[in-house]
Amino acid sequence: MVHNLTVLRRLRRFAGRYAALLALLPCGQALAQPASPSPAEQLAALNTAALPPATRAAIAASLAAWQQQGPLPGGRWLLVNIPAFEISLMNGPQRLATWRTIVGKAKTPTPRFTGEATAVILNPWWDVPASIVAESVGPMLARRPREAARKGYVRQGDHYRQAPGPDNQLGLMKLEFRNIYSIGIHDTPSRPLFARDRRALSHGCIRVDDALGFAATLLGAPTSSDSLATVAATNRETQRLALAEPITVIVGYFTAEVGQDGHLRLFDDVYRRIRLPPADHGSACAP
């Protein structure tokens, strides 16, 4: 019912005001914490002399990508690392939480870009991209209209859409995330795919595991995945929950990073973008 959504919005507003009032209480000044190194600074500090050429190439490419990206956003922001199949909520250089993702296939890769998320959309409609209309949805509507109707597909003039429901390709939620590539960050009905290690499986959009838990984290207390599931189930209409403030989203391609434990993490170059140095076979002459 709409009542559930109204209560949820009021609770979120109250929580924000309560936190602001606590910040004004004369309870002492917090000690300044040393600044955490950025991802680029962590990579630059590595001693790579004894590492294999492929590892050095991955570190160099990832460092260059971060340097090209420029300064990190202040406050909370989202990092999508395509080769890691992960999306992380960050606070400055610190990683707060991470979720598994599905990203674009090699033939339909997820691009690198920076955008901004402004809201969580529950029970979203899916505006089917032209490429997917031509590939599958258009022929389904033309040849198997009953199946298309059962799955919620409709044609509105030249536009093809899918209504909210169990078969909707965006699942129960998506982020309001406008960008020049029309790349979405959303749930999926195909959740068993997250069990795979290699998850370059989409047409370019970014699917998120535990999507309602992810959305609840972005919305903040008192929102929970259970409360969002209740709201989505009791009111099948599309509903918008604004974030407290817009969140910058960096979608990047980093095959090397320093983990929270200080160890180097390496990821497969899923789009084959890193150029390896030529192999050194030594002298062709006999000693």
Residue at 211 is within a domain: yes
DSSP-assigned letters across all residues of 149-160? HHTTEEEETTEE
Same domain, 150 and 69: no
Q: What is the dihedral of CA 188, 192, 108, 160, to 10 degrees?
A: -30
| pLDDT at residue 278, as a whole number | 72
Same domain, 143 and 169: no
Residue at 29 is within a domain: no
- The band of 275, judged by pLDDT with boundaries at 50, 70 and 90, is confident
User: How far apart (Å, rounded) are the C-alpha atoms in residues 68 and 250?
Assistant: 12
- Which residue has tokens 């600074």? 41
Residue at 190 is within a domain: yes
Cα–Cα distance list, 113 to 20, 179, 249, 250 (Å):
33, 9, 8, 6
pLDDT for 76 beyond 90: yes
pLDDT (average), residues 86-109: 97
Same domain, 143 and 220: no
Residue at 20 is within a domain: no
Last residue of a domain, one of 163, 188, 210: 163
**How many domains does the chain divide into?**
2
Query: Mean pLDDT over all residues of the chain?
Result: 89
| pLDDT at residue 1, as a whole number | 38
pLDDT for 20 beyond 60: no
Q: Tell me the percentage of the chain whose pLDDT exceeds 70.
A: 85
pLDDT for 253 beyond 50: yes
Same domain, 179 and 70: yes
Residue at 27 is within a domain: no
pLDDT for 276 beyond 90: no
Same domain, 198 and 246: yes
User: pTM of the entire structure?
Assistant: 0.84
Same domain, 68 and 134: no
Q: What is the dihedral of CA 110, 115, 116, 122, to 10 degrees?
A: -20
- The band of 279, judged by pLDDT with boundaries at 50, 70 and 90, is low
Same domain, 157 and 170: no
pLDDT (average), residues 102-122: 97
Give 134-159 pLDDT, tens digit per residue: 999 999 999 999 999 999 999 999 99
Same domain, 39 and 159: no
Same domain, 106 and 132: no
Radius of gyration of the chain (CA): 22
**Which of 4-8, 70-74, 108-112: highest mean pLDDT?**
108-112
Same domain, 190 and 231: yes
| pLDDT at residue 5, as a whole number | 57
Q: Tell me the percentage of the chain whose pLDDT exceeds 90.
A: 80
Same domain, 155 and 208: no
Residue at 30 is within a domain: no
Domain of 210, CATH number, reads 2.40.440.10
DSSP-assigned letters across all residues of 31-49? PPPPPPPPHHHHHHT---T
Residue at 22 is within a domain: no
Domain interval for residue 138: 127-163
Same domain, 43 and 158: no
CB contact at 8 A, 271 and 106 = yes
Residue at 19 is within a domain: no
Residue 64 DSSP symbol: H
- The band of 285, judged by pLDDT with boundaries at 50, 70 and 90, is very low
pLDDT: is 15 or 214 the higher one? 214
| pLDDT at residue 27, as a whole number | 47
pLDDT (average), residues 248-272: 97
Give 173-204 pLDDT, tens digit per residue: 999 998 999 999 999 999 999 999 999 999 99
